Amino acid sequence: MMTKKNLEIISSIGSVILLIIMFALSHMMRNSINQEYGFIVSLVVFILVMSVIGLKLNEMN
């Protein structure tokens, strides 16, 4: 069984990788306005994912 610390480390690394992938996809958009919205959406998704992970880890024993 994984400990809470291991889950926290893995989820943090996964979230950062997700953010990098979303930034790369946003950067590939041709229209600059779409790129800006893509970066904003990427940050919002990253914040939401980290918040949910933090809340779930807080509920663990």
How many domains does one find in the chain? 1
Structural domain of residue 52, as residue ranges?
4-59
pLDDT tens digits for range 6-24: 999 999 999 999 999 999 9
Instruction: Compute the mean pLDDT over every residue in the chain, rounded to the nearest whole number.
Output: 92
Residue 28 near residue 42 (C-beta atoms within 8 A): no
pLDDT, one tens digit per residue, over 26-51 is 999 988 899 999 999 999 999 999 99
- Residue 46, number of CB atoms within 10 A of its CB: 17
Contact assessment for residue 50 and residue 41, using Cβ atoms and an 8 Å cutoff: no
pTM: 0.84
Residue 60 has pLDDT above 90, yes or no: no
33-43 as b/e: b if 16+ CB within 10 A: eeeeebeeebe
Q: Which residue has the tokens 């950067």?
A: 27
